[in-house]
A and B are shown apart, each in its own frame.
Chain A
């Protein structure tokens, strides 16, 4: 049984259909990439999984529970971590407060929370150095680190990331993806929406390509990376010599 199973999902904003019946699975321990151009429905998919949007029809099964009708914080409690697009850190709160909020559901167990925060600070020493600063003063890369760290405090079963490389320098992009691989090695499954298709396909096991609210292509990442259509649309055109 997959960790995440999406069946025939339709989502609409008013009369506009953003998702027109998509099927998507993430198995335990997998890294799955969701590709597509801006406006194709990637963010909508992620927001529906985490309960920020209600589907018009269809089903989202997470860890064996149907979560369509659950509220976002209940889905978090089931083991879903979501790093939203644009990081969305709480800019007027300190780094430490941001990180601790990631463990909001552990607030009755302060010792455990402190232990986990400590362990994440060891992973991201930069955040530890800046823990008393307002999060809004961090650099873009640091903010992304914080957003990821914050989503890991509860040790989610599935981590979904929305454009984690947005606005980051190439070196940092590589680093983010190494972190993603590392998180998977800890047993966390991953669903990542990414614009840097090449990088995403290199890290992922499988990938889906979303086009105008439908799954246009799906398959093992390696196969998709050499697919002519994918190369043309997302990897810089088939004329690209370097491709």
Chain B
């Protein structure tokens, strides 16, 4: 039984990273129906910016807590700028073209980000400073360390913040409105292109936060990490019902759990088969995902 709970803790920790990244996929899809293949790479870029800040500060005598905060904030801000720049340069001109051309552009951006980081940081693994102790506590044989608690708490706070923004602020309402009907949103005086950019910005913020957390948690990062995580996060978004924000959060946690259980009870080599098989079965039974809203029928 303790193995089970151990896996739950493990799964929720990874899952919270997936959730943060899945939110970016789902928000962008909800608004412009684009599977933003470059999104997972923003997570990777965030991890590298965080690494740069942390290793730079490590040479000085900044306390590590402060350094971590700086790494998180700077990574989030710079990645957000990058996310918006990508939207402006590579996606906005194609918003009215065929959906496949913008999809291929996203693939191109993804490759460019990966190879750009490869050029700057090299092909090997970069190692985050070991900031987290293994200290923790144990309940009934289940080991929970402080890092896991911290990660989950931070993810939760970020997601809560996003939820409040989207559901309880004016601009968030505008965002949901233009996901329903862009032209009607324009007629309300909403600068639709601006709100789309804001969506990319928010997605990039969360992805970068997840990137830094992943770096701190696993300590090993490389230019290819965004691809693998992006794939799972995207799966999480679809599983939860793409376009659906709480769905993406739940989907991420669920994928994390599936991964942990798959690795714990079957074999880590088969984890992805397990994850994708569940996805395919869910979609076959419920074609709009677990929490997917039914598409409004029109006459």
Contacts and interface: CB of A to CB of B under 8 A. Distances in A.
Interface of A: 50-52, 71-73, 76-77, 82, 84, 88-93, 97-98, 100-102, 104-105, 107, 136, 150-151, 154
Nearest to B180: A90
B180 A52 contact: no
A92 B178 CA distance: 11
Contacts of A136: 296
B170 A91 contact: no
Contacts of A50: 186-187
A52 to B, nearest CB: 5
Contacts of A73: 186, 188-192
Nearest to B298: A86
Given A73-B192, A136-B296, A92 B176 contact: yes
A154 B189 contact: yes
Interface of B: 170-171, 173-174, 176-177, 180-181, 183-192, 293, 296
A89 B188 CA distance: 11
A45 to B, nearest CB: 15
A192 to B, nearest CB: 16
27 contacts: A52-B186, A71-B186, A72-B186, A73-B190, A73-B192, A76-B188, A76-B189, A77-B189, A84-B183, A84-B184, A88-B183, A89-B184, A90-B177, A90-B185, A91-B296, A93-B173, A93-B176, A93-B177, A100-B170, A100-B173, A101-B177, A104-B188, A104-B189, A104-B190, A107-B170, A107-B171, A154-B189
Contacts of A76: 186-189
Contacts of B190: 73, 101, 104
A107 to B, nearest CB: 4
B181 A51 contact: no
B189 A91 contact: no
A50 B170 CA distance: 23
Contacts of B174: 101, 104
Given A76-B189, A136-B296, 13 more contacts: A50-B187, A52-B187, A73-B186, A88-B184, A90-B184, A93-B173, A93-B176, A97-B173, A101-B177, A104-B170, A104-B190, A105-B189, A151-B187
